[in-house]
Structure 1
Amino acid sequence: MNAHEDHEDHPGTLPVQRMRPGDHAFYRYESGTHGRDVMSAFVWAGLARGEKVLVFGPPRLTSGQVWSAFEDAPGPLLATAHRSGGLALSSMRRLIEPQREFTADRQWERIVEETRAARDEGFTGLRAYIDMGWVADLGADLDTMMDREQRAGHLFTDGFYSEICAYDESRFPEPVLRAMRHAHPRDLLARLGQLTCLRTGGTLHAVGEADASTRAEFLRALRLICDAPGRGRLTLDLRRLEFLSVRCARDAVRLLDTAGAGRTVRIRCSQRHATLLDRLGARTADIEVSG
Protein backbone atom coordinates (compact mmCIF):
# COMPACT_ATOMS: atom_id res chain seq x y z
CA MET A 1 0.00 0.00 0.00
CA ASN A 2 1.44 3.36 -1.02
CA ALA A 3 0.85 5.72 1.87
CA HIS A 4 0.86 8.81 -0.34
CA GLU A 5 -1.83 7.44 -2.62
CA ASP A 6 -3.91 6.10 0.25
CA HIS A 7 -4.05 9.42 2.12
CA GLU A 8 -3.77 12.06 -0.57
CA ASP A 9 -7.48 12.88 -0.78
CA HIS A 10 -8.31 12.90 2.94
CA PRO A 11 -7.93 16.32 4.61
CA GLY A 12 -7.87 14.81 8.12
CA THR A 13 -4.78 12.61 7.76
CA LEU A 14 -2.54 12.71 10.82
CA PRO A 15 -0.32 10.53 13.01
CA VAL A 16 -2.00 8.99 16.04
CA GLN A 17 0.03 11.20 18.39
CA ARG A 18 -1.76 14.26 16.96
CA MET A 19 -5.23 13.01 17.87
CA ARG A 20 -7.13 15.32 20.18
CA PRO A 21 -10.17 14.92 22.47
CA GLY A 22 -13.30 14.75 20.34
CA ASP A 23 -11.58 13.15 17.33
CA HIS A 24 -13.16 10.20 15.50
CA ALA A 25 -10.50 8.39 13.50
CA PHE A 26 -10.26 5.64 10.89
CA TYR A 27 -7.28 3.33 11.15
CA ARG A 28 -6.38 0.67 8.61
CA TYR A 29 -3.76 -1.88 9.57
CA GLU A 30 -2.07 -4.83 7.92
CA SER A 31 -3.26 -8.28 8.94
CA GLY A 32 -0.94 -9.88 11.46
CA THR A 33 0.21 -6.64 13.09
CA HIS A 34 -3.02 -6.09 15.08
CA GLY A 35 -2.18 -2.37 14.91
CA ARG A 36 0.00 -2.78 18.00
CA ASP A 37 2.11 0.39 17.85
CA VAL A 38 -0.75 2.75 17.02
CA MET A 39 -3.00 1.16 19.64
CA SER A 40 -0.29 1.44 22.29
CA ALA A 41 0.46 5.08 21.44
CA PHE A 42 -3.23 5.99 21.57
CA VAL A 43 -3.70 4.29 24.94
CA TRP A 44 -0.57 5.77 26.50
CA ALA A 45 -1.37 9.31 25.31
CA GLY A 46 -4.87 9.10 26.74
CA LEU A 47 -3.65 7.96 30.14
CA ALA A 48 -1.00 10.68 30.15
CA ARG A 49 -3.79 13.23 29.59
CA GLY A 50 -5.75 11.87 32.54
CA GLU A 51 -8.38 10.23 30.35
CA LYS A 52 -10.10 6.91 30.89
CA VAL A 53 -9.29 4.42 28.12
CA LEU A 54 -11.38 1.52 26.80
CA VAL A 55 -9.75 -1.02 24.50
CA PHE A 56 -11.91 -3.33 22.39
CA GLY A 57 -9.19 -5.45 20.86
CA PRO A 58 -9.45 -7.98 18.02
CA PRO A 59 -12.01 -10.58 19.17
CA ARG A 60 -9.74 -13.43 18.14
CA LEU A 61 -7.14 -12.34 20.70
CA THR A 62 -7.36 -13.07 24.41
CA SER A 63 -7.12 -10.26 26.96
CA GLY A 64 -3.59 -11.45 27.73
CA GLN A 65 -2.58 -11.18 24.09
CA VAL A 66 -4.05 -7.69 23.84
CA TRP A 67 -2.27 -6.68 27.02
CA SER A 68 1.04 -7.93 25.61
CA ALA A 69 0.71 -5.32 22.86
CA PHE A 70 1.39 -2.65 25.46
CA GLU A 71 4.64 -4.12 26.72
CA ASP A 72 6.83 -1.61 24.88
CA ALA A 73 4.92 1.45 26.15
CA PRO A 74 7.08 3.57 28.48
CA GLY A 75 6.83 3.66 32.26
CA PRO A 76 4.44 2.19 34.83
CA LEU A 77 1.48 4.30 33.68
CA LEU A 78 -0.40 1.48 31.94
CA ALA A 79 -0.02 -1.04 34.74
CA THR A 80 -1.19 1.51 37.32
CA ALA A 81 -4.18 2.51 35.18
CA HIS A 82 -5.10 -1.12 34.57
CA ARG A 83 -5.20 -1.81 38.32
CA SER A 84 -7.19 1.35 39.10
CA GLY A 85 -9.75 0.99 36.30
CA GLY A 86 -8.44 3.85 34.19
CA LEU A 87 -7.59 1.34 31.45
CA ALA A 88 -10.15 -1.36 30.69
CA LEU A 89 -9.89 -4.20 28.19
CA SER A 90 -13.33 -5.18 26.95
CA SER A 91 -15.24 -6.40 23.90
CA MET A 92 -18.20 -5.22 21.88
CA ARG A 93 -20.06 -8.33 22.97
CA ARG A 94 -19.61 -7.32 26.61
CA LEU A 95 -20.39 -3.65 25.95
CA ILE A 96 -23.84 -4.26 24.50
CA GLU A 97 -24.95 -6.83 27.11
CA PRO A 98 -27.61 -8.00 27.79
CA GLN A 99 -28.41 -7.53 24.11
CA ARG A 100 -26.82 -10.15 21.88
CA GLU A 101 -27.45 -8.51 18.54
CA PHE A 102 -25.58 -5.34 17.67
CA THR A 103 -27.52 -2.15 17.06
CA ALA A 104 -26.09 1.33 16.73
CA ASP A 105 -28.58 2.67 19.27
CA ARG A 106 -27.51 0.18 21.93
CA GLN A 107 -23.82 0.88 21.35
CA TRP A 108 -24.38 4.64 21.47
CA GLU A 109 -26.41 4.29 24.66
CA ARG A 110 -23.59 2.39 26.34
CA ILE A 111 -20.90 4.82 25.14
CA VAL A 112 -22.92 7.72 26.55
CA GLU A 113 -23.16 5.83 29.85
CA GLU A 114 -19.41 5.22 29.88
CA THR A 115 -18.77 8.87 29.06
CA ARG A 116 -20.99 10.02 31.92
CA ALA A 117 -19.27 7.63 34.30
CA ALA A 118 -15.82 8.85 33.26
CA ARG A 119 -16.88 12.44 33.96
CA ASP A 120 -18.26 11.49 37.37
CA GLU A 121 -15.03 9.65 38.22
CA GLY A 122 -13.00 12.79 37.52
CA PHE A 123 -11.28 11.77 34.28
CA THR A 124 -10.44 14.53 31.79
CA GLY A 125 -11.90 12.55 28.90
CA LEU A 126 -12.84 9.12 27.59
CA ARG A 127 -11.20 7.45 24.62
CA ALA A 128 -11.92 4.09 23.01
CA TYR A 129 -9.91 1.93 20.64
CA ILE A 130 -12.39 -0.31 18.80
CA ASP A 131 -11.13 -3.11 16.58
CA MET A 132 -13.82 -3.61 13.97
CA GLY A 133 -13.38 -7.38 14.10
CA TRP A 134 -16.48 -7.26 16.27
CA VAL A 135 -18.56 -7.12 13.06
CA ALA A 136 -17.78 -10.75 12.19
CA ASP A 137 -17.70 -11.81 15.85
CA LEU A 138 -21.28 -10.65 16.40
CA GLY A 139 -22.49 -11.70 12.98
CA ALA A 140 -23.45 -8.12 12.14
CA ASP A 141 -23.86 -7.09 8.53
CA LEU A 142 -21.62 -4.49 6.93
CA ASP A 143 -24.49 -2.13 6.21
CA THR A 144 -25.30 -1.91 9.92
CA MET A 145 -21.68 -1.19 10.76
CA MET A 146 -21.32 1.42 8.01
CA ASP A 147 -24.52 3.14 9.09
CA ARG A 148 -23.19 3.37 12.65
CA GLU A 149 -19.92 4.89 11.49
CA GLN A 150 -21.60 7.47 9.28
CA ARG A 151 -24.06 8.63 11.95
CA ALA A 152 -21.88 8.64 15.07
CA GLY A 153 -20.97 12.33 15.03
CA HIS A 154 -23.16 13.22 18.02
CA LEU A 155 -20.85 11.24 20.33
CA PHE A 156 -17.99 13.69 19.74
CA THR A 157 -19.63 17.11 19.80
CA ASP A 158 -18.54 18.16 23.31
CA GLY A 159 -14.91 17.11 22.84
CA PHE A 160 -14.86 14.70 25.79
CA TYR A 161 -15.00 11.39 23.90
CA SER A 162 -12.57 10.25 21.19
CA GLU A 163 -12.41 7.00 19.26
CA ILE A 164 -10.29 4.98 16.85
CA CYS A 165 -12.08 2.50 14.61
CA ALA A 166 -9.41 -0.01 13.58
CA TYR A 167 -9.88 -2.11 10.44
CA ASP A 168 -7.83 -5.20 9.61
CA GLU A 169 -7.54 -4.68 5.86
CA SER A 170 -7.77 -8.43 5.17
CA ARG A 171 -11.21 -8.70 6.76
CA PHE A 172 -13.11 -6.00 4.86
CA PRO A 173 -13.72 -5.42 1.14
CA GLU A 174 -11.72 -2.58 -0.37
CA PRO A 175 -14.81 -0.49 -1.24
CA VAL A 176 -15.91 -0.69 2.40
CA LEU A 177 -12.49 0.42 3.63
CA ARG A 178 -12.49 3.39 1.25
CA ALA A 179 -16.01 4.40 2.26
CA MET A 180 -15.22 4.14 5.96
CA ARG A 181 -12.04 6.18 5.61
CA HIS A 182 -14.05 9.03 4.16
CA ALA A 183 -16.80 8.61 6.78
CA HIS A 184 -14.33 9.57 9.52
CA PRO A 185 -13.06 13.12 10.11
CA ARG A 186 -9.59 11.73 10.91
CA ASP A 187 -7.51 9.20 8.97
CA LEU A 188 -4.50 7.80 10.84
CA LEU A 189 -1.15 6.94 9.34
CA ALA A 190 -0.56 3.21 9.34
CA ARG A 191 2.59 3.21 11.48
CA LEU A 192 4.52 5.26 13.98
CA GLY A 193 7.51 6.97 12.40
CA GLN A 194 5.85 7.30 8.99
CA LEU A 195 5.92 10.43 6.82
CA THR A 196 3.33 11.28 4.20
CA CYS A 197 3.57 14.44 2.09
CA LEU A 198 0.38 15.69 0.46
CA ARG A 199 0.10 18.52 -2.02
CA THR A 200 -3.00 20.66 -2.47
CA GLY A 201 -2.49 23.51 -4.92
CA GLY A 202 0.44 25.60 -3.75
CA THR A 203 0.60 23.99 -0.30
CA LEU A 204 2.67 20.97 0.72
CA HIS A 205 1.42 19.25 3.88
CA ALA A 206 4.00 17.16 5.74
CA VAL A 207 2.27 14.63 8.02
CA GLY A 208 3.94 12.32 10.53
CA GLU A 209 7.64 12.39 11.36
CA ALA A 210 10.46 14.03 9.39
CA ASP A 211 13.71 12.49 10.59
CA ALA A 212 16.69 10.46 9.36
CA SER A 213 14.54 7.53 8.25
CA THR A 214 12.11 9.67 6.23
CA ARG A 215 14.43 12.48 5.11
CA ALA A 216 14.70 11.23 1.52
CA GLU A 217 10.92 11.45 1.11
CA PHE A 218 10.87 14.86 2.80
CA LEU A 219 13.54 16.14 0.41
CA ARG A 220 11.68 14.83 -2.63
CA ALA A 221 8.55 16.61 -1.51
CA LEU A 222 10.43 19.87 -0.88
CA ARG A 223 11.98 19.75 -4.34
CA LEU A 224 8.60 19.01 -5.89
CA ILE A 225 7.00 22.14 -4.52
CA CYS A 226 10.13 24.26 -4.93
CA ASP A 227 10.42 23.36 -8.62
CA ALA A 228 6.73 23.83 -9.38
CA PRO A 229 6.20 26.08 -12.40
CA GLY A 230 4.58 29.47 -12.09
CA ARG A 231 4.78 32.41 -9.75
CA GLY A 232 3.21 33.38 -6.44
CA ARG A 233 3.35 32.11 -2.89
CA LEU A 234 4.07 28.53 -1.85
CA THR A 235 3.25 27.18 1.61
CA LEU A 236 5.00 24.40 3.50
CA ASP A 237 2.55 23.24 6.17
CA LEU A 238 4.26 21.41 9.05
CA ARG A 239 1.41 21.57 11.56
CA ARG A 240 0.70 17.84 11.36
CA LEU A 241 4.31 16.83 11.94
CA GLU A 242 4.79 15.05 15.23
CA PHE A 243 8.59 15.27 14.97
CA LEU A 244 10.95 17.46 12.92
CA SER A 245 14.65 16.69 13.09
CA VAL A 246 17.32 19.40 12.94
CA ARG A 247 18.52 18.10 9.59
CA CYS A 248 15.05 18.14 8.02
CA ALA A 249 14.40 21.57 9.50
CA ARG A 250 17.60 22.80 7.85
CA ASP A 251 16.34 21.35 4.56
CA ALA A 252 13.14 23.36 4.96
CA VAL A 253 15.09 26.55 5.64
CA ARG A 254 17.08 26.01 2.46
CA LEU A 255 13.78 25.76 0.58
CA LEU A 256 13.14 29.40 1.36
CA ASP A 257 16.33 30.34 -0.45
CA THR A 258 15.96 28.14 -3.53
CA ALA A 259 12.44 28.89 -4.74
CA GLY A 260 12.33 30.11 -8.30
CA ALA A 261 12.08 33.71 -9.39
CA GLY A 262 8.79 35.31 -8.50
CA ARG A 263 8.16 32.76 -5.76
CA THR A 264 7.81 33.34 -2.03
CA VAL A 265 7.64 30.48 0.44
CA ARG A 266 5.88 30.49 3.79
CA ILE A 267 6.28 27.82 6.46
CA ARG A 268 3.19 27.23 8.58
CA CYS A 269 4.03 25.39 11.80
CA SER A 270 3.73 25.13 15.58
CA GLN A 271 5.62 27.41 17.94
CA ARG A 272 7.93 24.51 18.83
CA HIS A 273 8.97 24.02 15.22
CA ALA A 274 9.11 27.77 14.59
CA THR A 275 11.70 28.12 17.36
CA LEU A 276 13.86 25.43 15.75
CA LEU A 277 13.57 26.99 12.28
CA ASP A 278 14.43 30.43 13.66
CA ARG A 279 17.59 29.07 15.29
CA LEU A 280 18.61 27.56 11.95
CA GLY A 281 18.37 30.91 10.22
CA ALA A 282 14.87 31.14 8.85
CA ARG A 283 13.53 34.67 8.56
CA THR A 284 10.73 35.37 11.03
CA ALA A 285 8.69 36.93 8.23
CA ASP A 286 8.70 33.58 6.41
CA ILE A 287 7.16 31.67 9.34
CA GLU A 288 3.51 31.60 10.30
CA VAL A 289 2.83 30.10 13.72
CA SER A 290 -0.49 28.30 13.76
CA GLY A 291 -2.04 25.30 15.47
Structure 2
Amino acid sequence: MNENENDNEECAHHPGTLPVQQLRPGDHAFFGYEGDSHGRDVMSAFVWAGLARGEKVIVFGPPRLTEGQLWSAFEDAPGLLLATAHRTGRLRLSSMRQLIRPDREFTADRQWQRLVEESAAARAEGFTGLRAYIDMGWVADLDADLDTVMDRERRAAPLFSDGFYSEICAYDRDRFPDRVLRAMRQAHPRDLLTRIGQLRCLHLGGTLHVVGEADLTTRSQFTRALDEALRRPREEGRVTVDLRRTEFLSVQCARDLVRLVGEAGAGGTVRIRCSARHGALLSRLGARPADIEVSG
Protein backbone atom coordinates (compact mmCIF):
# COMPACT_ATOMS: atom_id res chain seq x y z
CA MET A 1 0.00 0.00 0.00
CA ASN A 2 1.51 3.37 -0.97
CA GLU A 3 1.47 6.49 1.19
CA ASN A 4 -1.56 8.05 -0.45
CA GLU A 5 -3.60 4.87 -0.16
CA ASN A 6 -2.68 4.61 3.50
CA ASP A 7 -3.66 8.23 4.04
CA ASN A 8 -7.02 7.59 2.40
CA GLU A 9 -7.66 4.52 4.51
CA GLU A 10 -7.03 6.51 7.69
CA CYS A 11 -9.04 9.51 6.49
CA ALA A 12 -12.00 7.23 5.74
CA HIS A 13 -12.38 6.54 9.44
CA HIS A 14 -12.16 10.11 10.70
CA PRO A 15 -14.57 12.83 9.50
CA GLY A 16 -12.54 15.57 11.18
CA THR A 17 -9.36 15.26 9.09
CA LEU A 18 -8.03 18.65 8.01
CA PRO A 19 -4.81 20.65 7.52
CA VAL A 20 -3.44 22.46 10.56
CA GLN A 21 -4.14 25.84 8.95
CA GLN A 22 -7.89 25.17 9.28
CA LEU A 23 -7.89 24.54 13.03
CA ARG A 24 -10.18 26.93 14.86
CA PRO A 25 -10.33 28.18 18.47
CA GLY A 26 -11.69 25.43 20.69
CA ASP A 27 -10.42 22.57 18.51
CA HIS A 28 -8.84 19.45 20.03
CA ALA A 29 -6.67 17.66 17.48
CA PHE A 30 -4.71 14.45 17.10
CA PHE A 31 -1.43 14.73 15.22
CA GLY A 32 0.68 11.70 14.37
CA TYR A 33 4.23 12.22 13.15
CA GLU A 34 7.25 10.09 12.36
CA GLY A 35 10.99 10.65 12.34
CA ASP A 36 13.35 13.26 13.71
CA SER A 37 11.41 16.24 12.33
CA HIS A 38 9.13 16.05 15.41
CA GLY A 39 6.36 17.44 13.18
CA ARG A 40 8.03 20.83 13.29
CA ASP A 41 6.21 22.35 10.30
CA VAL A 42 2.79 21.56 11.76
CA MET A 43 3.89 22.71 15.22
CA SER A 44 5.29 25.98 13.86
CA ALA A 45 2.15 26.71 11.83
CA PHE A 46 -0.06 26.08 14.87
CA VAL A 47 2.05 28.34 17.09
CA TRP A 48 2.34 31.15 14.55
CA ALA A 49 -1.41 31.16 13.81
CA GLY A 50 -2.23 31.41 17.51
CA LEU A 51 0.11 34.34 18.03
CA ALA A 52 -1.29 36.08 14.94
CA ARG A 53 -4.79 35.76 16.45
CA GLY A 54 -3.71 37.35 19.72
CA GLU A 55 -3.65 34.10 21.68
CA LYS A 56 -1.22 32.91 24.30
CA VAL A 57 0.68 29.77 23.31
CA ILE A 58 2.38 27.06 25.37
CA VAL A 59 4.52 24.39 23.72
CA PHE A 60 5.17 21.17 25.61
CA GLY A 61 7.83 19.75 23.34
CA PRO A 62 9.35 16.28 23.13
CA PRO A 63 11.04 15.63 26.51
CA ARG A 64 14.22 14.45 24.79
CA LEU A 65 14.76 17.90 23.27
CA THR A 66 16.43 20.75 25.13
CA GLU A 67 14.79 24.18 25.04
CA GLY A 68 17.42 25.30 22.54
CA GLN A 69 16.73 22.34 20.26
CA LEU A 70 13.00 22.96 20.51
CA TRP A 71 13.40 26.63 19.72
CA SER A 72 15.41 25.75 16.61
CA ALA A 73 12.31 23.93 15.34
CA PHE A 74 10.74 27.34 14.71
CA GLU A 75 13.53 28.54 12.42
CA ASP A 76 11.40 28.31 9.28
CA ALA A 77 8.48 30.26 10.76
CA PRO A 78 8.26 34.08 10.49
CA GLY A 79 10.82 35.05 13.10
CA LEU A 80 9.92 38.48 14.48
CA LEU A 81 6.48 37.51 15.79
CA LEU A 82 7.78 34.37 17.49
CA ALA A 83 10.88 36.02 18.91
CA THR A 84 8.87 38.91 20.37
CA ALA A 85 6.26 36.54 21.79
CA HIS A 86 8.94 34.39 23.40
CA ARG A 87 10.59 37.42 24.98
CA THR A 88 7.32 38.79 26.39
CA GLY A 89 5.93 35.46 27.60
CA ARG A 90 3.13 35.14 25.03
CA LEU A 91 4.95 32.04 23.77
CA ARG A 92 6.19 29.73 26.49
CA LEU A 93 8.25 26.57 26.08
CA SER A 94 7.43 24.19 28.91
CA SER A 95 7.09 20.53 29.87
CA MET A 96 4.50 18.35 31.50
CA ARG A 97 6.77 18.08 34.54
CA GLN A 98 6.64 21.85 34.92
CA LEU A 99 2.89 21.98 34.35
CA ILE A 100 1.97 19.53 37.14
CA ARG A 101 4.43 20.82 39.77
CA PRO A 102 4.64 20.37 42.71
CA ASP A 103 3.10 16.98 41.88
CA ARG A 104 5.58 14.47 40.54
CA GLU A 105 3.15 11.88 39.21
CA PHE A 106 0.66 12.50 36.46
CA THR A 107 -3.02 12.42 37.20
CA ALA A 108 -5.76 13.51 34.83
CA ASP A 109 -7.26 15.71 37.55
CA ARG A 110 -4.00 17.56 38.17
CA GLN A 111 -3.41 18.19 34.47
CA TRP A 112 -7.02 19.30 34.06
CA GLN A 113 -6.74 21.70 37.01
CA ARG A 114 -3.54 23.27 35.70
CA LEU A 115 -4.89 23.75 32.18
CA VAL A 116 -7.99 25.41 33.60
CA GLU A 117 -5.72 27.70 35.64
CA GLU A 118 -3.61 28.54 32.60
CA SER A 119 -6.77 29.39 30.63
CA ALA A 120 -8.03 31.63 33.42
CA ALA A 121 -4.67 33.41 33.57
CA ALA A 122 -4.67 33.97 29.81
CA ARG A 123 -8.16 35.48 30.02
CA ALA A 124 -7.11 37.76 32.85
CA GLU A 125 -4.10 38.92 30.82
CA GLY A 126 -6.40 39.92 27.96
CA PHE A 127 -5.49 37.26 25.40
CA THR A 128 -8.09 36.16 22.86
CA GLY A 129 -7.42 32.49 23.61
CA LEU A 130 -4.97 29.91 24.87
CA ARG A 131 -3.54 27.15 22.75
CA ALA A 132 -1.21 24.31 23.71
CA TYR A 133 0.91 21.99 21.60
CA ILE A 134 1.55 18.88 23.70
CA ASP A 135 4.04 16.27 22.52
CA MET A 136 2.85 13.06 24.11
CA GLY A 137 6.39 11.85 24.68
CA TRP A 138 5.81 13.04 28.24
CA VAL A 139 3.81 9.83 28.87
CA ALA A 140 6.97 7.69 28.87
CA ASP A 141 9.01 10.46 30.49
CA LEU A 142 6.70 10.50 33.52
CA ASP A 143 6.03 6.74 33.37
CA ALA A 144 2.34 7.60 33.26
CA ASP A 145 -0.33 4.93 33.07
CA LEU A 146 -1.33 4.75 29.42
CA ASP A 147 -4.95 3.81 30.13
CA THR A 148 -5.28 6.86 32.41
CA VAL A 149 -3.93 9.10 29.67
CA MET A 150 -6.28 7.58 27.10
CA ASP A 151 -9.21 8.11 29.45
CA ARG A 152 -8.25 11.77 29.85
CA GLU A 153 -8.21 12.23 26.08
CA ARG A 154 -11.66 10.70 25.72
CA ARG A 155 -13.18 12.90 28.44
CA ALA A 156 -11.47 16.19 27.58
CA ALA A 157 -14.39 17.86 25.75
CA PRO A 158 -15.38 20.28 28.58
CA LEU A 159 -11.94 21.95 28.36
CA PHE A 160 -12.86 23.14 24.87
CA SER A 161 -16.54 23.88 25.28
CA ASP A 162 -16.31 27.70 25.28
CA GLY A 163 -13.88 27.94 22.36
CA PHE A 164 -11.13 29.67 24.37
CA TYR A 165 -8.70 26.77 24.74
CA SER A 166 -7.26 24.79 21.80
CA GLU A 167 -4.89 21.84 21.86
CA ILE A 168 -2.85 19.58 19.60
CA CYS A 169 -1.80 16.24 21.04
CA ALA A 170 1.23 15.09 19.02
CA TYR A 171 2.05 11.38 18.95
CA ASP A 172 5.36 10.02 17.65
CA ARG A 173 4.08 6.94 15.81
CA ASP A 174 7.29 5.04 16.59
CA ARG A 175 6.76 5.36 20.36
CA PHE A 176 3.13 4.25 20.80
CA PRO A 177 1.41 0.94 20.05
CA ASP A 178 -0.85 0.93 17.00
CA ARG A 179 -3.92 0.22 19.15
CA VAL A 180 -3.24 3.36 21.18
CA LEU A 181 -2.72 5.49 18.08
CA ARG A 182 -5.98 4.24 16.56
CA ALA A 183 -7.93 4.82 19.76
CA MET A 184 -6.48 8.28 20.37
CA ARG A 185 -7.08 9.36 16.80
CA GLN A 186 -10.74 8.45 17.17
CA ALA A 187 -10.94 10.17 20.58
CA HIS A 188 -10.08 13.57 19.07
CA PRO A 189 -12.63 15.61 17.09
CA ARG A 190 -9.88 16.71 14.70
CA ASP A 191 -7.19 14.69 12.93
CA LEU A 192 -4.37 16.66 11.32
CA LEU A 193 -2.60 15.93 8.08
CA THR A 194 0.94 14.85 8.82
CA ARG A 195 2.71 17.75 7.11
CA ILE A 196 2.21 21.11 5.44
CA GLY A 197 1.56 20.76 1.71
CA GLN A 198 0.00 17.31 1.92
CA LEU A 199 -3.11 16.30 -0.02
CA ARG A 200 -5.61 13.56 0.72
CA CYS A 201 -8.36 12.71 -1.74
CA LEU A 202 -11.08 10.44 -0.42
CA HIS A 203 -14.09 8.93 -2.19
CA LEU A 204 -17.05 8.39 0.12
CA GLY A 205 -20.27 7.45 -1.60
CA GLY A 206 -20.90 10.04 -4.27
CA THR A 207 -18.52 12.62 -2.79
CA LEU A 208 -14.83 13.27 -3.42
CA HIS A 209 -13.33 14.97 -0.35
CA VAL A 210 -10.21 17.01 -1.19
CA VAL A 211 -8.26 17.69 2.01
CA GLY A 212 -5.09 19.78 2.16
CA GLU A 213 -3.26 21.54 -0.67
CA ALA A 214 -3.88 21.03 -4.40
CA ASP A 215 -0.87 22.62 -6.05
CA LEU A 216 1.97 21.84 -8.45
CA THR A 217 3.43 19.07 -6.32
CA THR A 218 0.09 17.32 -5.73
CA ARG A 219 -1.53 18.13 -9.08
CA SER A 220 -1.24 14.64 -10.55
CA GLN A 221 -2.78 13.09 -7.42
CA PHE A 222 -5.59 15.67 -7.55
CA THR A 223 -6.42 15.13 -11.23
CA ARG A 224 -6.30 11.33 -10.91
CA ALA A 225 -8.78 11.46 -8.04
CA LEU A 226 -11.03 13.86 -9.98
CA ASP A 227 -10.93 11.75 -13.12
CA GLU A 228 -11.88 8.65 -11.14
CA ALA A 229 -14.70 10.45 -9.29
CA LEU A 230 -16.14 12.04 -12.40
CA ARG A 231 -16.37 8.72 -14.23
CA ARG A 232 -18.91 7.60 -11.66
CA PRO A 233 -22.01 9.76 -12.48
CA ARG A 234 -23.34 7.25 -15.01
CA GLU A 235 -23.28 4.58 -12.30
CA GLU A 236 -24.07 6.49 -9.08
CA GLY A 237 -25.88 9.65 -10.14
CA ARG A 238 -24.70 13.11 -9.12
CA VAL A 239 -21.10 13.56 -7.94
CA THR A 240 -20.01 16.12 -5.33
CA VAL A 241 -16.45 17.48 -5.22
CA ASP A 242 -16.02 18.84 -1.70
CA LEU A 243 -13.28 21.49 -1.43
CA ARG A 244 -14.23 22.84 2.00
CA ARG A 245 -11.14 21.29 3.59
CA THR A 246 -8.89 22.31 0.71
CA GLU A 247 -6.54 24.90 2.19
CA PHE A 248 -4.92 25.89 -1.11
CA LEU A 249 -6.18 25.44 -4.68
CA SER A 250 -3.72 26.52 -7.36
CA VAL A 251 -4.87 28.08 -10.62
CA GLN A 252 -3.59 25.03 -12.52
CA CYS A 253 -5.56 22.62 -10.34
CA ALA A 254 -8.65 24.84 -10.53
CA ARG A 255 -8.39 24.81 -14.35
CA ASP A 256 -8.12 21.04 -14.28
CA LEU A 257 -11.24 20.85 -12.15
CA VAL A 258 -13.25 23.15 -14.44
CA ARG A 259 -12.10 21.24 -17.52
CA LEU A 260 -12.84 17.79 -16.11
CA VAL A 261 -16.24 18.84 -14.79
CA GLY A 262 -17.07 20.32 -18.20
CA GLU A 263 -16.05 17.08 -19.88
CA ALA A 264 -18.17 15.04 -17.48
CA GLY A 265 -21.36 15.85 -19.37
CA ALA A 266 -24.52 17.86 -18.99
CA GLY A 267 -24.95 20.41 -16.22
CA GLY A 268 -26.30 19.14 -12.95
CA THR A 269 -24.29 15.91 -12.83
CA VAL A 270 -21.52 17.51 -10.73
CA ARG A 271 -21.67 19.79 -7.72
CA ILE A 272 -18.56 21.60 -6.41
CA ARG A 273 -18.96 22.45 -2.74
CA CYS A 274 -16.40 25.07 -1.72
CA SER A 275 -15.57 28.33 0.05
CA ALA A 276 -16.43 31.70 -1.45
CA ARG A 277 -12.73 32.21 -2.22
CA HIS A 278 -12.42 29.01 -4.22
CA GLY A 279 -15.82 29.56 -5.81
CA ALA A 280 -14.74 32.96 -7.12
CA LEU A 281 -11.59 31.44 -8.64
CA LEU A 282 -13.52 28.65 -10.33
CA SER A 283 -16.09 31.12 -11.70
CA ARG A 284 -13.33 33.27 -13.21
CA LEU A 285 -11.96 30.18 -14.91
CA GLY A 286 -15.30 29.36 -16.51
CA ALA A 287 -17.08 27.03 -14.10
CA ARG A 288 -20.86 26.97 -14.51
CA PRO A 289 -22.59 28.84 -11.67
CA ALA A 290 -25.09 25.99 -11.32
CA ASP A 291 -22.24 23.61 -10.50
CA ILE A 292 -20.87 25.68 -7.59
CA GLU A 293 -22.30 25.56 -4.08
CA VAL A 294 -20.61 28.00 -1.69
CA SER A 295 -20.62 26.55 1.80
CA GLY A 296 -18.61 27.04 5.00
Task: Tell me if structure 1 keeps the 8 A contact 2:206–2:236.
Answer: no
2:243 matched to 1:273?
Answer: no
Relative to the length of structure 1, the TM-score reads: 0.97
Q: 1:255 offset after TM fit, Å?
A: 2.7
The aligned residue for residue 187 of structure 2 is 183
Q: Does the residue aligned with 1:164 lie in a helix, a strand or coil?
A: strand
The aligned residue for residue 241 of structure 2 is 236
The aligned residue for residue 125 of structure 1 is 129
State the Cα deviation string for residues 10-44 of structure 1 (Å, max 9, x = none): 10000001100010000000031211111001000
2:30 matched to 1:26?
Answer: yes
Q: 1:286 offset after TM fit, Å?
A: 1.2
Which amino acid is the alignment partner of residue 255 of structure 1? L
Q: Distance in 2 between matches of 1:95 and 1:82?
A: 18
Unaligned residue ranges in structure 1 (runs of 5+): none
Q: Distance in 2 between matches of 1:136 and 1:260?
A: 57
Q: Distance in 2 between matches of 1:147 and 1:108?
A: 12
The aligned residue for residue 92 of structure 2 is 88
Task: Tell me if structure 2 keeps the 8 A contact 1:226–1:258.
Answer: no
Q: 1:176 offset after TM fit, Å?
A: 0.6
Q: Distance in 2 between matches of 1:219 and 1:100?
A: 53
Q: 1:257 offset after TM fit, Å?
A: 1.3
Task: Tell me if structure 2 keeps the 8 A contact 1:38–1:192.
Answer: yes
Q: Does the residue aligned with 1:115 lie in a helix, a strand or coil?
A: helix
Task: Tell me if structure 2 keeps the 8 A contact 1:227–1:260.
Answer: no
State the Cα deviation string for residues 107-136 of structure 1 (Å, max 9, x = none): 111111111111111111110000000000
**Amino-acid identity (%):** 75
The aligned residue for residue 294 of structure 2 is 289
**CA 1:262–1:241 in 2, change beyond 3 Å: closer, same or farther?**
closer
Which amino acid is the alignment partner of residue 56 of structure 2? K
Q: 1:233 offset after TM fit, Å?
A: 1.6
Q: Distance in 2 between matches of 1:141 and 1:109?
A: 18
Q: Does the residue aligned with 1:76 lie in a helix, a strand or coil?
A: helix
Which amino acid is the alignment partner of residue 4 of structure 1? N
2:73 matched to 1:69?
Answer: yes
Superposition pairs for residues 4-15 of structure 1, below 5 Å?
4-15=8-19
State the Cα deviation string for residues 145-202 of structure 1 (Å, max 9, x = none): 1011101010001011110000000100011101110110000000100000111111
Superposition pairs for residues 255-274 of structure 1, below 5 Å?
255-259=260-264, 264-274=269-279
The aligned residue for residue 254 of structure 2 is 249
Q: 1:258 offset after TM fit, Å?
A: 2.1
Q: Does the residue aligned with 1:95 lie in a helix, a strand or coil?
A: helix
Relative to the length of structure 2, the TM-score reads: 0.96
Task: Tell me if structure 2 keeps the 8 A contact 1:22–1:159.
Answer: yes
Q: Does the residue aligned with 2:38 lie in a helix, a strand or coil?
A: coil
Which amino acid is the alignment partner of residue 37 of structure 1? D
Which amino acid is the alignment partner of residue 97 of structure 2? R
1:215 to 211, 216, 219: 219
1:198 to 199, 202, 211: 202
